Amino acid sequence: MGSKRKFSLNIDHVPDNIKRGQIELANNYLQRFREKYEQNGRPVRVSFRALCSDWPWAKRSDVYTHLLHKYPAKILPYIPIFFLSSESYAAQNDLVLDNFAGTGTVLLESIIHPHLKRSAIGIEINPLARLIAKVKTTPLPTSDLKEEAKNLISRINYFTGEVEIPQFINRDLWFSKRIQYALAKIKSCIDDVEDVNLKDFFLVCLSYIIRDVSFADPKIAPPIVLKPEHFSKNPERQKEVTVLLRRKKWARPLTYFERAVEKNIKRVETLNAFEELRAGETKAEIIWDDARELKWGRLTAAGGIDKTDAEPIPNGSVGLVITSPPYINAQKYVRTTKFELFWLGLATEEELPVLDKSLVGTERIFWDEYKELHLSGVESADSVIKRIYKKSKERAYIVSRYFDDMRQVMKETYRVLKTDGRFVLVVGDNTVCGTKVRSHQILANIATQDLGFEVETMLVDKIRSRGMITKRHETGGMVLDDWVVVLKKGR
């Protein structure tokens, strides 16, 4: 580990006058944005990174547990930081919800905020993301982690028994036989760890290295086999790929795993600086898997959800919602994480399509679902769906289903929000079959016309590099901006 790398910032003892000044600054920004939006009804162009630049504690890179694990299309952390820094949207003791929690960026920012720490709950359908979010937001005793890591590495080194290698299509194309055995050996030894929290930590570390020791192109999120012949017109890149493949072929997974464990222990260790987290006074939990039906279940080992005796999240119990739902045609979340799901035993080849089909924004649909035109009942959506239908019935249904699913998500969000509570919705517009889909405006129309929300303000921030594919196939277009729609629950 390089001595120059920083994993934490000392932010927990900021003087009260500075805390109050920064809270007031966030309050004032929100007030100015509301007033500007009310004046002309046009979204206000902002840079959330710049808005937070005057707060030294808000600098985000490899701090805390943010880089515990790669994951596609993470929300820009400056967005939740900004909204969580205000008291005008949520009080100190209000509960925060993220309906599409991913790996827990909103949850983490909520519980480590230096001025306004709030407990947070998350909903997430991908079991790998649930597992990462759990480890990302759970303080663990450093001494226990280091001792268990030492014992685990020793067991892996001396392991000589039989292993269970997951079955999936083209496994030998993606992983050499030697790598397969090494990964399975690590997984088998992790399974013997008795403490559930420690076991989950080591599973995340194993997941962290899987793409690195595969023959997948590291520069493309959905797995693509890395082949030098694909770069015949770029000799420099071809040479780079040849060297990379050689390195992958002879990689020693245990070495990669040890490095991941070392780095992630330092990251998780930073959570121990927060007394409220250690004492359980402030905590983050993933509690459910489906944003269309908000219930309170219990997260179990390896990202599982215990639905026994689950109850709906109580009406009016949430103070603030910050979430970024999937973008239409923007990312194949399940396909991108399939190797990790397989190797950790979180899904099988047969279960993967079922998980994929259950996603909001899924593209896994059947012919009998899209052979006829399906409309949403909202003019701004239906005019787009009709235009797309003329070019592709399948794509038109995907768009229609997306807005139907999001209507249910927003309906449930309205139910659990307190009166006057805010719903911060981060979405992206893109193009489907040459037709511009203004998702931010369509979702705002659904929220106001059908559900009783009012639009308090709209903001727009240019997307920079944040681990997301912004350009796809011929039907996908470009996702250029994050649109932030702030909805308020009426009385």
Question: Residue type at 15?
Answer: P
Nearest to 41 by CA among 481, 448, 464, 451: 448
By DSSP bridging, strand 284-288 and strand 120-123 are parallel
Helix (H, G, I), strand (E, B) or coil at 462: strand
pLDDT band of residue 8 (cuts 50, 70, 90) is very low
Nearest to 66 by CA among 50, 77, 55, 78: 77
Residue owning tokens 């028994």 = 161
- Give 2-62 as a DSSP string: -TT-------TT--HHHHHHHHHHHHHHHHHHHHHHHHH--PEE--HHHHTTT-GGG--SS
Nearest to 485 by CA among 428, 409, 425, 437: 425
Choice among 220-224, 335-339, 404-408 with the minimum mean pLDDT: 220-224
Per-residue pLDDT tens over the stretch 22-75: 888 889 999 999 999 999 889 999 999 999 888 888 888 888 999 999 988 889
Helix (H, G, I), strand (E, B) or coil at 123: strand
Token pair recorded at residue 282: 């402030």
Choice among 1-5, 221-225, 332-336 with the minimum mean pLDDT: 1-5
By DSSP bridging, strand 44-45 and strand 453-462 are parallel
What pLDDT does 330 receive?
54
Burial class for 368, CB neighbours closer than 10 Å (0-12, 13-18, 19+): exposed
Residue 478 pLDDT greater than 70, yes or no: no
Q: Are 90 and 320 in contact (CB under 8 A)?
A: yes
Give strand pairing partners of 450: none
pLDDT band of residue 1 (cuts 50, 70, 90) is very low
Token pair recorded at residue 480: 């250029």
Per-residue pLDDT tens over the stretch 139-180: 999 999 999 999 999 999 999 888 999 999 999 999 999 999
What pLDDT does 275 receive?
85
Nearest to 186 by CA among 265, 261, 103: 261
Percent of the chain with pLDDT over 70: 92
Q: Are 467 and 73 in contact (CB under 8 A)?
A: yes
Mean pLDDT, rounded, for 385-394? 92
Residue 15 pLDDT greater than 70, yes or no: no
Q: Which residues are CB-neighbours of 37 under 8 A, at least 6 positions away?
A: 43, 44, 456, 457, 458
Residue 472 pLDDT greater than 50, yes or no: no
Count CB-CB contacts under 10 A for residue 53: 12
Q: Are 209 and 260 in contact (CB under 8 A)?
A: yes
What pLDDT does 465 receive?
54
Domain boundaries, the chain: 16-139+274-489, 142-271
Superfamily of domain 16-139+274-489: Vaccinia Virus protein VP39 (3.40.50.150)
Q: Are 420 and 489 in contact (CB under 8 A)?
A: yes
What pLDDT does 311 receive?
94
Token pair recorded at residue 1: 């580990």
Per-residue pLDDT tens over the stretch 443-465: 999 999 989 999 999 999 986 65
Q: How far apart are CA 415 and CA 24, in angstroms?
A: 29
Regarding predicted confidence, which is higher, 161 or 133?
Answer: 133
Residue 469 pLDDT greater than 50, yes or no: no
Nearest to 297 by CA among 484, 102, 121, 77: 121
Mean pLDDT, rounded, for 229-244? 86
Number of residues that this document lists for the chain: 491
Q: Which residues are CB-neighbours of 11 under 8 A, at least 6 positions away?
A: 56, 57, 114
Q: Are 414 and 313 in contact (CB under 8 A)?
A: no
Regarding predicted confidence, which is higher, 210 or 7?
Answer: 210
Per-residue pLDDT tens over the stretch 328-386: 865 577 888 999 999 999 999 999 989 888 888 778 877 777 878 888 888 999 999 99
CA triple 211-325-281, angle to 5 deg = 85
What pLDDT does 191 receive?
95
Give strand pairing partners of 425: 323, 485
Nearest to 288 by CA among 267, 304, 271: 304
What pLDDT does 59 receive?
84
By DSSP bridging, strand 295-299 and strand 305-312 are antiparallel
Regarding predicted confidence, which is higher, 185 or 222?
Answer: 185
Per-residue pLDDT tens over the stretch 264-319: 999 999 999 888 888 888 999 999 999 999 999 999 988 999 999 999 999 999 99
What pLDDT does 62 receive?
81
Residues 262, 77, 132, 332, Cα dihedral to 10°: -120
Residue 9 pLDDT greater than 60, yes or no: no
